[in-house]
Amino acid sequence: MQIETIRLKNFKVFQSLELTGLPGLAVFVGANGTGKSTLFDVFAFLSEALQGNVTSALAKRGGFKEVKSRMSTGNIEIELQFRLEITGKERLVTYLLEIGEFKNRPIIEKEILRYKRGRYGSPYQFLHFSRGAGYAVTNEEDFNK
């Protein structure tokens, strides 16, 4: 799996970040406090959120208000685009997670997994959840059904 794009909104020091066309090997250089560790924490955060849950992944980092960019009012958004072989074909997959707050508790505003099934057409959403409701396609490899 190769990550090609990372988009962040309101994730700690990154109020708005877009890294596109990432190569197979990327090196990040920057002064102290510019967000190198924060960028890599995105992967730890997602891993913990997906294996456990978003609330505990946030709690480990001080809670929603500590993770959300200071002085910002928007939701936390993490979007990754990566190439992955699915049913024998390499596909460009997009995963998007948007976290908001509702009644002082974190809530998933949006969780989407999508990729193009064929060469043409718009990307198909295999998973789409918002505020506890949505769908996940389980026979995604059987495109004809």
Ligand X SMILES: Nc1ncnc2c1ncn2[C@@H]1O[C@H](COP(=O)(O)OP(=O)(O)OP(=O)(O)O)[C@@H](O)[C@H]1O
- Interactions with Mg ion, residue window 106-125 (CB under 5 A): none
Is there binding between residue 30 and ligand X (CB under 6 A)? yes
Is there binding between residue 37 and ligand X (CB under 6 A)? yes
Q: Which stretch binds Mg ion (CB under 5 A): 15-23, 34-42, 72-80, 132-140?
A: 34-42
Q: Which of 2, 16, 34, 37 binds Mg ion (CB under 5 A)?
A: 37
For the record, the structure tokens of 121 come out as 């057409």
The order of strands in the sheet holding 105-115 is 14-19, 2-11, 76-86, 89-102, 105-115, 124-130, 133-136
Residues binding Mg ion (CB under 5 A): 36-37
